[in-house]
Amino acid sequence: MKGGWLGSSTASPQMFFHGNLFISGGNKPDMITLEKRIGQHRRVTGDIVALMAGLLMPFGFAPFGWYALTVVALAFLFPVLISVSPARAFWRGWIFGLAMFGLGVFWIHESFGFAAVALPLAILSTGALIAFLAIYPALFGVFVAALSRKSMVRRSSPSPTISPSWKSLPAGGLLLALPAGWILQEWVRGWFLGGFPWLEIGYAHMDSPLVGLAPLLGVYGVGWAAAVSAGIVLLAFRAGMRDGKSTVTTRVAGVSVLLVLVGGIWGGSAWLDGITWVKPIGAPIRVALIQGNVPQEEKWLPSRRGSTLYRYLSLTRQAKQNDLVIWPETALPGYYHEFRGFIAGLRQEFHAHGMNILLGVPVLDKESQRYFNSVVAITDAGEAFYHKRHLVPFGEYLPMAGVLRGILDFLMIPMSDFSTGPLLQAPLDMAGQTIGVSVCYEASFGRDIIASLPQATLLINVSNDAWFGDSSGPHQNLQMARMRARESGRYLLRGTNTGISAIIDPRGRIMSRAPQFREFALTGAVIGMSGATPYVRYGNRIVVSATLIVLVIGMLISRVVGNRVQVVYEGNDRV
């Protein structure tokens, strides 16, 4: 054979090297074969990187708290989504999501056990949820692939030089469009079908310098800064690579500028953390959080009702020197009207001590036959109620009930059917404070908490995390509650059945916490706060608008700059 592509005329065995690939054979491979081998190698490698990045992500959140890993995970994910086909990018985003949610929120399956759902069906249901949640990063992958492909001038003829795909997107895309796109998909996940905000990247940075952005932009602003940091890290790595065009000095200068930019983001956030947006008002009050530690499997048994009430009553008597005592979600194991006499006895016994009691109890409206997951405030002036507004989909209510009810009945999966409380409910006045109350799941949403602000001087969240056993779920829920305190600049009292009960200060720091799975009366002193942080005033409107604007700018930069400078052979990214 004459005129081979390396100019050789012999047919002896040859060996070829291309990056990490080793190819050998009796004849020299033609360029198409080499391209296919390299493309296959890159596809498999990219899939593995996406999977490993997804496995890294949950370790940035509670209970682990290695927040830097969230930046590392995104820095690994971004490049493997660039310059590949939309189908391949969807696949990589999906396996990233499977790994992240599969490892990070698999604890949800624990709750099915208390609903008498067989373990295989519980695992199947949890797997279906995880597969659905993974669609969000998968769609983000499609966006990145489409953006990077529009940033390139393609040529159909093979070239002996194959550029790494992640280098094909201009800096504007990496620094602007990708981080903004990631945060927008988190925001959509946080409200679509009721919302599922767990593992939003901003929560991982509750203990990092970036949390200084929380009072301004909320959890999505914190996450945006982390995602931008990931883009800068990737740019720094790219700037430091030898490309045959830049000198060592140029590369070092480029990397240095980018690292200074990261330092500026993190340092600026730390400086913002020192700004005081609110101020204390009135005198401190003594509070007690009653953690009953009632096993979930015993909670609703009629035979255990008396022992449950005695347990809470005994712990409350130990804390009678406090101004405000809080019992957790559904502390009373039945409907409110069944406990009118018991509640009257509470008021009579503790009235002399000046004690106010807030407790969770389901409320049945006998006229409409609707029932609510509620909290009742027991004070000298009488009783006041808060009815939960944001219900847990598939837990407290069934979305698309007309379609799904028959399926769940067939599978024999029990389903609660609570009613949604009124959207506008006044804060509760007790113990000299105006209190914004949330129940369980509601503390996962900043928009729900700020509904009672800035009128509320104190925040209370009651929950029952016994559903999730000894898993990472209660730790993640506490981390999210801490973010609500930081965003609002208010003390937040989190009272739970089995833990983790905690007193959280306006900076999101845990002042004290009860040991998990123990009967405990957690006491401390808090003070009401007045004023409004920028996040309380504007909610998510600023960060959503800003990310949309930056996303468009990044897309335009990638399109314009990319069309001028990028020439990449597209044969290697076929699925």
| Active site (catalytic) residues | 329, 388, 440
What's the N-to-C CA distance of the chain in angstroms?
Answer: 32
Q: Which residues pair with 430 in a beta bridge?
A: 433
Rounded to a whole number of angstroms, the CA Rg of the chain reads 28
Calpha distance 143→141 (Å, rounded): 5
Q: Which two tokens stand for residue 355?
A: 């004690």
538 phi, psi to nearest 5 deg: -115, -10
Question: Diameter of the chain by CA atoms?
Answer: 105
Segment (H or E) for 502:
strand 502-504
DSSP 173: I
**Which residues are within 8 A (CB) of 344 and not within 5 positions of it... i.e. 6 or more apart?**
none
Calpha distance 339→349 (Å, rounded): 15
Q: Which three-class secondary structure state does DSSP give residue 371?
A: strand
448 phi, psi to nearest 5 deg: -75, -40
Calpha distance 389→375 (Å, rounded): 12
**Which residues are within 8 A (CB) of 152 and not within 5 positions of it... i.e. 6 or more apart?**
83, 168, 562, 563, 566, 567, 568, 570
Calpha distance 562→153 (Å, rounded): 8
DSSP 176: I
Can you spell out the DSSP letters for 144-156? Answer: HHHHHHHT-EEE-
Q: Which two tokens stand for residue 519?
A: 């009967």
For 37-43, the CB contacts below 8 A with 24+ separation are 38/162, 38/572, 39/571, 39/572, 39/573, 39/574, 42/165, 42/572, 43/84, 43/88, 43/575
Q: Which two tokens stand for residue 7?
A: 């100019």
Calpha distance 435→441 (Å, rounded): 18
How many other C-beta atoms are found inside a 10 Å radius of the C-beta of residue 90?
22
Report yes or no: 358 and 378 within 8 Å, Cβ to Cβ: yes
**Which residues are within 8 A (CB) of 88 and not within 5 positions of it... i.e. 6 or more apart?**
43, 46, 145, 573, 575
How many other C-beta atoms are found inside a 10 Å radius of the C-beta of residue 68?
14
Calpha distance 263→209 (Å, rounded): 11
Can you spell out the DSSP letters for 318-337? Answer: HTTTSSEEE--TT-SSS-GG
